[in-house]
Amino acid sequence: MPAIGRLLTVILFVWVPVFSQDQLKVIEWPAKPFYNSRANATSENHLVDRIDDVEIESILVEGRLVHFGESFNANDEWLKNISFQVKNVSTKSIGQFQITLIMPELGPMHRIQIQYFCRECIRKVNPVAFDPGDVRELTLPDPIYAWARSIINEQTTLTKISKAQVLISYLMLADGSMISSDCMKTADLKNKCPFGSP
């Protein structure tokens, strides 16, 4: 018998799972009101039931439309790629509007806050007005993201951060008056805050 016939050749097909860098993420409202006139209102904190002067038109992550409470695919850098399109639906000019998010997976003892706001509205040179009917984009400034990322990496990894939750929003009108709430008006019913005004 030829020598080659005495050789047993074993071919192993090893299946190695390949995981995409994209993983399921979600942006959500808080489970119950806290920074809200229903739960914690004083004359000093300016809390309201829901902010109705500004309306969230849409939420984009990496340029794709997403909704509150619905899972979506995104890479590990997703927090810096969130943007909120907001519209001034009041009759007054707005000085600034800010949405603050937290990451529940970090736990209550290590909670950090990241702020999304209209950077062009507060720039020192030629700031853009936010007048009635205007739509502006709220984004996360690079320095805030760099700070948040360093804090996250001290405790865990970005890969494990899959949830971002609304903590509170601040609205400052051009006349200096301010209101805040953990609930905001939304154009799309899919994004509706679970509490607040109907």
Residue 1 reports pLDDT greater than 70: no
- The pLDDT assigned to 109 comes to 62
Give pTM, 2 decimals.
0.84
Residue 72 reports pLDDT greater than 90: yes
Q: How confident is the model at residue 131 (pLDDT cuts 50, 70, 90)?
A: very high
Residue 197 reports pLDDT greater than 90: no
Residues 167/102, Cβ–Cβ less than 8 Å = yes
Residue for token pair 């609304």: 166
Residue 82 reports pLDDT greater than 80: yes
Q: How confident is the model at residue 16 (pLDDT cuts 50, 70, 90)?
A: very low
Torsion angle (degrees, nearest 10) of CA 106, 77, 23, 136: 100
What Rg value do the Cα atoms of the chain yield, rounded? Answer: 23
pLDDT digit string (tens) for 17-61? 443 456 899 999 998 888 888 776 666 668 999 999 999 999 999
Q: Which two tokens stand for residue 26?
A: 């979600």
* Mean pLDDT taken over the chain: 86
- The pLDDT assigned to 15 comes to 39
CA neighbours closer than 13 Å in the CB half-sphere of residue 197: 10
Residue 101 reports pLDDT greater than 90: yes
Annotated domain spans of the chain = 21-191
